[in-house]
Chains A and B, each alone.
Chain A
């Protein structure tokens, strides 16, 4: 059973965003990491890149699959999770703890169109 955490926002393409003030921490959900299997590489954006809600910002690779990362929010990338460069498998260990990028949100209201934990849990059934 995939883990879902209360208080985060979720997209249909299985990304989450955790809001802290004017920033959003974006990563893939536990369900997504489980589907992918052993993550071997995370293609991350660069700091200062602009990301747009609904558009691709990177990719996650396992041995025999790859999945584009679709940003759930818009804004500017202020940090990427460099630990994933050497240890992409951290995503398998704890997907929610190991976010991919930190975004300064340009439109915080966007999260309202995302799912809460309860509705996301239903889509994973």
Chain B
């Protein structure tokens, strides 16, 4: 017997009898003998909960959570207690994709709220019901731009995007057959407008992907960029960490056609890289080219407002190889995290999170520069993340700080480091970090 299997011996005997068999092995009578496993799997025996707990305590003891000054796409913002508490309700967590809308209004409603919130935050008309993460959302945006243009297959990606995101986008491009061209950054660390203009003028570019703030934390001014793209029938995609959209001009305000990125910064725990959630928002005119699931409003037989999965004719289970994407997931649980986070934070809270993150990062930057061991790599204004040149070896710095319980940042090269701060970092933590670098 096992705690997850309710079958008693007599249950098994009765059930076998009902199906006309003698023993459990007979259920596999048609499977060729030579394919069957001979002997047992080389795995340990089943464990009790108490034993499992011990194993995890042991593993946990070999992890060392650090006071986090790293970003590079994953930011240590605070998750209010209510969120994991709500998300742990098993009516939410143990349900699946809301195929039966009559008993899934909970999931459908929070996804509808999520869609509203993301459309609002990005300034776009419509949001899908989420993607896996920011990198795959960006890859989907690339493929979407090609599909929307019908005849074009070239996409420009600014080198100012996060290299981890770029790696994923490049991998998708290679296999999907997109002619993806990376446009080097300008010497000031911002997008290279001249190089982009010259490439757009060939009138063969389906999409341009830029990032705000960019990988180095720098805030870009995209004035005129959307008009220029549209003059050449190119779709503009802006990738942003979702939280910053509460402060910075939104993709919609810049005139973007697609807004995408990671929404981890909206209260999702770091979780060693996942699960996070990707968002993808666009205009109504592009909705049929949009990947992923979407929830729409309708009424039930009694005229009540209700919600349902809709626009499914774009999706893999109906369109198969003609689908806009292979994605089947909606990152439901993470949509709930985002919806609950933004509901708690509201416009004022999100503003304060951004304000305090900005302040903490600028204070930290100033203090580090005062040590005399760092120089700013770029002059452009930054948001809550910045790139510094270090007079010593970056690996050594990261190692030393880690020993003292501090994650100093993300290494760019032997002498450059990318450092971030959020509203969670106190002045004391920042001062302690600065001391360690001296």
Which A positions have Cβ atoms within 8 angstroms of B? 40-41, 43, 61-66, 68
Contacts and interface: CB of A to CB of B under 8 A. Distances in A.
Residues of A contacting B: mostly = strand
Contacts of B399: none
Contacts of A62: 313
B313 A61 contact: yes
Contacts of B318: 64-66
Nearest to B312: A64
B322 A68 contact: yes
B288 interface: yes
A38 B397 CA distance: 65
B319 interface: yes
Nearest to A46: B150
A102 B319 CA distance: 26
A96 to B, nearest CB: 23
A66 B313 CA distance: 6
A41 B216 CA distance: 44
Given A61-B313, A64-B312, A65-B313, A43 B322 contact: no
Contacts of B322: 66, 68
A33 B288 CA distance: 21
Interface of B: 288, 310, 312-314, 318-319, 322
Counting from the closest, the 4 A-B pairs by CB-CB distance are A66-B313, A61-B313, A66-B319, A66-B318
12 contacts: A40-B313, A41-B313, A61-B313, A62-B313, A63-B310, A63-B313, A64-B318, A65-B318, A66-B313, A66-B314, A66-B319, A68-B322
B288 A41 contact: yes
A43 B288 contact: yes
Given A61-B313, A64-B318, 5 more contacts: A41-B313, A65-B313, A66-B313, A66-B318, A66-B319
A64 B308 CA distance: 13
Contacts of A63: 310, 312-313
A66 B317 CA distance: 11
Contacts of A65: 313, 318
A84 to B, nearest CB: 14
A43 B322 CA distance: 13
Contacts of B288: 41, 43
Contacts of B314: 66
A68 B313 CA distance: 11
A43 B314 CA distance: 12
Contacts of A68: 322
A61 B314 CA distance: 9
Contacts of A61: 313
